[in-house]
Structure 1
Amino acid sequence: MALVVGAAGTGFVWLATPHTREIQSPWQMVAKLLAFACLCVAIAVFPWVSPRLNWLLYVPFVLFTGYLIPRISWFYYGDGARAQGDSFYTHLYLLLYPGIVLTVAAAYRIGGGTPGRCLKIMATGVLIVFSGFLDIMWFVANPVEIPETIDAPHINLFTGGPISFGATIVFALVHVPIIVGINLLPLDRWIGRLLGADDR
């Protein structure tokens, strides 16, 4: 059920929301996160855990090399005028990164990982990218000057607008205890009780 809803939600987001860097309305972010959350749940409760299903993990490689990576690389080699910046952002941050998170979680789950820990992996991956860490490291890892302010749409939702580089570091650090807290939650115990199964 979660897989169907997640797939339908992903289709809706792809077809009905603009492929832009800017978040034009909070509901767009909610729709994207809800679709992703459904896919996360579908992977976490995937019922057929067996090494024999390792072949399923080849599917993401086909998607990455058959569409995402060629498409993303085109933005560098083919879009010299940088006219497709929003589409590049969409493919890199809204398709490739979530795809990596889901692939890692699927590998863990199919390999015998528990649903709760699987959810923790995906939640951590999402929180890290939304924490502002990536926005900070973009300026640290690349040969550019450190800016006075950082204008990141996902941060602006909480701050109301661009914030200073130092404030962005604080914003990112605030996520550390949140990530630690999530990873300490007894999710497997709760899921076991919810499903009426023994703790794993």
Structure 2
Amino acid sequence: MTARDESPPSPSLLDGNVTASLPGNVSDVVLRGQRRWARHLWWMALVAGAAGAAIVWLATPHGRETQTAGELAAKLLAFACLCVAIAFFPWVSQRLQWLVYIPFVFFTGYLIPRISWFYYGDVSRAQGDVFYTHLYMLFYPAIVLTVAAAYRIGGGSPGRCLKIMATGVVILFSGFLDLMWFAVNPVAIPPVIDAPHINLFTGGPISYGATILFALAHVPIAVVINLLPVDRWITRLLGAGEPTPVR
């Protein structure tokens, strides 16, 4: 018998039945899932995403321009798998919040020193494409995944977690960054903006004013993404039913 307004003690992390330390929830939606694959989806997606990221990093050019549609699809698929792995991580617990420290090791042990070198060491900009790859294929996606992982481990729902990551991608591809590059730096606004991710949709460089419209067109997309009942869909997909209230 438990005291009033208290939750039952959480079981061990090793028994696969860790409960979320959230008022009103006995367990996370992934742990409630009746599908056999529900609790295994996260690590299967993690393996697929890690393998895909390795293939993209080792087998595709480290350049600013995307050579083929297949190359872009491979990059997005690898990222999507990592997003699924984070969103469906089943053990939502404050005792696992130390996992959020792991990205800091990656940032300070490799990514930031490497990116810094392109400024301090590669003064001739001989490796500009490699710099672009590290900044936009590693640094920004790593930030998005880190924020989502912190949210998920802290008790956030899988659906909202996916929305955070999807919104991060939309903001990057919207052209907002390309516009702000000229707004925050001491450079003149050019007649056209040549951005690879925009060119994929427009067929080539577009004017600065058209880029503003292109960016604004992504606002309703982000709004729609965040209004979708993704958690409801996930609950049905996993056969999780409704959460059991704590008494």
Which range, TM-score by smaller chain?
Answer: over 0.9
Aligned 8 A contact 1:188 1:199 in 2: no
Residue among 197, 201, 205 paired with 1:154: 197
Identity of aligned residues (%): 79
Could you say which residue in structure 2 is the equivalent of 1:99?
142
Q: Which runs of 5+ in 2 are unaligned?
A: 1-43
Could you say which residue in structure 2 is the equivalent of 1:26?
69
Please tell me whether residue 39 in structure 1 is matched to residue 91 in structure 2: no
Please tell me whether residue 3 in structure 1 is matched to residue 80 in structure 2: no
**After superposition, what is the alpha-carbon deviation per residue over 1:85-119, rounded to whole angstroms, capped at 9, x for unaligned?**
00100001110000000000000000000000000
Matching residue's letter, 1:23: T
Residue among 61, 68, 72 paired with 2:115: 72
Distance 2:158 2:242 in 1: 11
Higher relative contact order (CA 8 A, sep 6+): 2
Query: Residue 199 of structure 1: CA displacement?
Result: 4.3
Could you say which residue in structure 2 is the equivalent of 1:90?
133
**After superposition, what is the alpha-carbon deviation per residue over 1:117-175, rounded to whole angstroms, capped at 9, x for unaligned?**
00000000000000000000000010000111000000100111000001111110110
TM-score by length of 1: 0.99
Distance 1:31 1:139 in 2: 30
Query: Residue 47 of structure 1: CA displacement?
Result: 0.6
Aligned residues: 200
Could you say what secondary structure the match of 2:125 adopts?
coil
Query: Residue 53 of structure 1: CA displacement?
Result: 0.5
Distance 1:188 1:19 in 2: 36
Distance 1:199 1:35 in 2: 31
Structure with the higher fraction of residues in helix conformation = 1
Residue among 216, 219, 242 paired with 1:173: 216
Distance 2:46 2:151 in 1: 17
In the TM superposition, structure 1's runs of 4+ consecutive aligned residues that sit over 3 Å from their partners are none
CA RMSD of aligned residues (A): 0.7
TM-score by length of 2: 0.80
Structure 2 CA distance for partners of 1:199 and 1:144, relative to 1, 3 Å: farther
Distance 2:63 2:92 in 1: 37
Aligned 8 A contact 1:50 1:112 in 2: yes
